[in-house]
Structure 1
């Protein structure tokens, strides 16, 4: 009996021990899982109302997705890169900014079978794969939503990635196409072909001012069968150069030699138009094109305009056009970000010191996902702090109403990004000696039911970014201020500019012309300061630093008349024209003083 009791007691003790061991293991497992989940859901930043909209069906598994992954960067490393003073030929690539090789190998293992493209700074990775493949990897499926009169695709449930990936990823783009396509419509102020009865003039004057002789320009017109006579009522870039002082740098032999102007485009260009224009101004620089994620499916004019604006004011610069297909039915902003990353890659050796970037694209801040914004913001920050480039972005052409609803105050991204110089627009007139005669904020009496990129210069308060400490100048704090990022930063002529388009001279307008005008000016200044001082200035911060009279004079022409359908132009900084338009010779001196 006693032996039976002992046996029973021993069995109970053994079972109790097993139970406690099992319980401890379960508790430990739960505890470990709570501390380190295997997968983490990713929020793509699509508005909740959009995700709750009706689902029309599934996105076909065969749909090609172009996905971009932006990695987090230690801000201390970016600050160190920003503090480094670069000189020509000195590599700009800092050590350890991006992911290390062991992490990249983990990514390759997870995305096994997919061709991954990692940027040179190792801060961005992109790939292309079918929707079905991506859905299986990220434990979701893709569906098509109907929302506000349009459709978009997105994951049906938040995509999941390994937990250690989530800690390193800043944004994933291309898994949806919720963000609206960038706006890049041309604003043609006069129908093409209506100039037959107008007095016409030769561009020989422009060629002469840029250091080329009138004889050279006349010879081009006679022997090249070129049309070099825009309407007399339009502004040529020779007029712009005289009004803004670009010609003063030309006269010192500064035409953009050894400088690169990078243009970000989502359409193709009209090559015959470009060649006619370059021939008329006797362009001595180099024009090249880089296809990113394929080539544009058609030409819509924006690229043609940007090239002519840049070439006409920096006639010896290298103009590099990064182009992609903006008509594809995917997230165009991921492709735009790929273009920015391509520019970073091409300049990481600092072979093109003093380069600038011009972007004539934008969308209402409410129409782009937060992940698209984070990805673009990261690229713009890298361009500024690591590559030491100034990035100019058109502020938009719908006045104070970027969403194209008259009366609804809104602004355009990426102009509002704090790593971009937002460029507004003006209407400029010159006298018979090509001197600046008058200038007002650009706006037209609107058809309030349809903007068509014609209401005027974009400007206002951002809803995405707070005002940076560097955005400080006379007029910045005013009755409209909300301690948010305020745009534009500067402005330039955006009305009645002569452009050769579809085989004829026309007049074009919009801040999409003003952005490359400023980019060309900065390229000239960079060339001059590099020749004299061995270095150059960059970043939006520079523009407010030189606004101080103590920096060396009037760097800008202050525009104090007109409005953008809501905000008036006033003395000092204002929401219509920013700090003002380029007084380039004085701007050059002010920048030089800031670098000394």
Structure 2
């Protein structure tokens, strides 16, 4: 099992977590495990004071509950309580777990670290110069607009909530079908709307962009605690065999790769890869803090899970439209100078260069060592708060930007492509990268290349670049080329 420890350099230990406290964890094990090995695993856990609360053999996953004392003894750790100025109070292990031989098939254990894992990737506009309805952006990108009744998308949310009245009012006002939106609880996460200045804006941005681009789509919102356990379990449940089969999973939350444990990085990529193998495209926001991803160590960082090789990483642009709604100009979103953020993007320090980027000319990282890894993002769309999206949150009209908007925008495109081609697009990068290259210099390129701007450390340019990826897809041309 890979390292589960996360970096908590600024946190202060305040004591051991009381032995009598109960802790819930998720355990993932090898897909190749035999029934006998699984039975032995389950028996061993129970004999050491660990309760199996739920089991999902199809997901190779167990939910467990145990006392701190039992977990410390089982794993050779000391669960410790910490306080941090940004993360607040949380607990985490004092060292790497030592797995006994009976747990040799275990690949990951989540829930031993309760610190907040991710941030929503939306940006309320300070003083928007322009704003658009999601349908205007979709039209500019030539997205098909067929009825999506009978299709579904899963949204992953680690906080906030939605009000049905807002959903009804927003879509009714635009004469669009009101989507069926269902809240699904994971690990105790709930639909908990509060105020417009909270994570509610993230949830409603996702719902309203998606429902506008794919009219009539069914939207399942998976609410989970904001921990690595909650995040990964939610994605796993949304894509689990035997459950709903969404065309896409849209994720608008993330954090710098370096703030994740190696175990969680690998497990999330594995879960996303399982989803794409089932024909489910996973769209992920690439971050809103430029090439640093919000860290102040002077290095470049990419956002995760956008950097997972099987995720469709979604970067951000500044979009200007003509009076007729066509694209007048499109550049890299970078408003760092006025405090309105910038698109994430760069080169992964954890994941190697995937095969589909072999001819994308991904540059070496600007960090010491200059390694070449998974390039982020794959595609981009309007994300600048200065050209943001008109949404309704807790009864309040707002203009919001961020790559959070691009993940559901692209999920809506995936639904439209599924309708047009009568097939699930699934893992799209192996098809989209060569398509961009083969059509780039034709009269009908499949992508709008963004060649002006930067996100701090990296510049835009023809073809793929570490600010906006392949560019913005022309939906109708993708439809024709794929068909």
Query: What is the TM-score with the length of structure 2 in the denominator?
Result: 0.87
Are residues 149 and 424 of structure 1, via their aligned partners in 2, closer, same or farther at CA, if it must alter by over 3 Å?
A: closer
TM superposition shift of 1:486: 0.8
Secondary structure of 1:256 counterpart:
coil
CA contact (8 A) 1:389 1:539 kept: no
Is residue 2:13 matched to residue 1:61? no
TM superposition shift of 1:172: 1.5
Is residue 2:143 matched to residue 1:256? no
TM superposition shift of 1:506: 1.7
TM superposition shift of 1:144: 2.7
Secondary structure of 2:117 counterpart:
coil
Q: Quick check: which one's strand share is greater? A: 2
Matched residue, 1:323: 223
Secondary structure of 1:434 counterpart:
coil
Secondary structure of 2:318 counterpart:
strand
Matched residue, 1:34: none
Residue number among 282, 285, 295 corresponding to 1:394 in the alignment: 285
Matched residue, 1:524: 416
Is residue 2:322 matched to residue 1:427? no
CA contact (8 A) 1:416 1:487 kept: yes
Q: Quick check: which one's helix share is greater? A: 1
Distance 2:472 2:270 in 1: 28
Matched residue, 1:17: none
CA contact (8 A) 2:121 2:403 kept: no
CA contact (8 A) 2:155 2:250 kept: yes
Residue number among 304, 328, 334 corresponding to 2:229 in the alignment: 334
Are residues 43 and 577 of structure 1, via their aligned partners in 2, closer, same or farther at CA, if it must alter by over 3 Å?
A: closer
Q: Which moved more, 1:402-411 or 1:355-364?
A: 402-411
Matched residue, 2:390: 498
Distance 2:243 2:14 in 1: 49
Are residues 397 and 535 of structure 1, via their aligned partners in 2, closer, same or farther at CA, if it must alter by over 3 Å?
A: closer
Secondary structure of 1:500 counterpart:
strand
Distance 1:273 1:49 in 2: 39
User: Which has the greater radius of gyration?
Assistant: 1
Distance 2:8 2:211 in 1: 45
CA contact (8 A) 1:108 1:116 kept: no
Could you tell me which runs of 5 or more consecutive residues in structure 2 were left unpaired when the two chains were aligned: 194-198
Matched residue, 2:109: 172
Is residue 2:1 matched to residue 1:45? no
RMSD, aligned α-carbons: 2.8
Q: Which moved more, 1:536-545 or 1:487-496?
A: 536-545
CA contact (8 A) 2:122 2:403 kept: no
Residue number among 40, 62, 72 corresponding to 1:135 in the alignment: 72
Is residue 2:214 matched to residue 1:314? yes
After superposition, the C-alpha distances for 1:159-193 in whole angstroms (9 at most, x for unaligned) are 34331422x22222211236x520115311147xx
Distance 1:187 1:54 in 2: 31
Residue number among 410, 417, 427 corresponding to 1:538 in the alignment: 427
Matched residue, 1:18: none
Is residue 2:348 matched to residue 1:462? yes
Secondary structure of 1:384 counterpart:
helix
Secondary structure of 1:283 counterpart:
coil
Distance 1:258 1:492 in 2: 26
Distance 2:330 2:298 in 1: 25
Query: What is the TM-score with the length of structure 1 in the denominator?
Result: 0.72
Secondary structure of 2:222 counterpart:
strand
After superposition, the C-alpha distances for 1:85-127 in whole angstroms (9 at most, x for unaligned) are xxxxxxxxxxxxx533222221221222613422242422222
Distance 1:237 1:295 in 2: 28
TM superposition shift of 1:284: 4.9
Are residues 350 and 575 of structure 1, via their aligned partners in 2, closer, same or farther at CA, if it must alter by over 3 Å?
A: same
CA contact (8 A) 2:248 2:281 kept: yes
Distance 1:131 1:379 in 2: 28
Matched residue, 1:161: 99
Are residues 358 and 137 of structure 1, via their aligned partners in 2, closer, same or farther at CA, if it must alter by over 3 Å?
A: same
Matched residue, 1:189: 125
Distance 2:234 2:270 in 1: 13
Matched residue, 2:45: 111
CA contact (8 A) 1:265 1:322 kept: yes
Distance 1:105 1:405 in 2: 47
Secondary structure of 2:232 counterpart:
helix
Residue number among 329, 343, 351 corresponding to 2:238 in the alignment: 343
Secondary structure of 1:512 counterpart:
coil
Residue number among 162, 176, 184 corresponding to 1:290 in the alignment: 184
Secondary structure of 2:135 counterpart:
helix
Distance 1:383 1:43 in 2: 22
Are residues 566 and 321 of structure 1, via their aligned partners in 2, closer, same or farther at CA, if it must alter by over 3 Å?
A: same
Distance 2:86 2:335 in 1: 29
Secondary structure of 1:161 counterpart:
coil
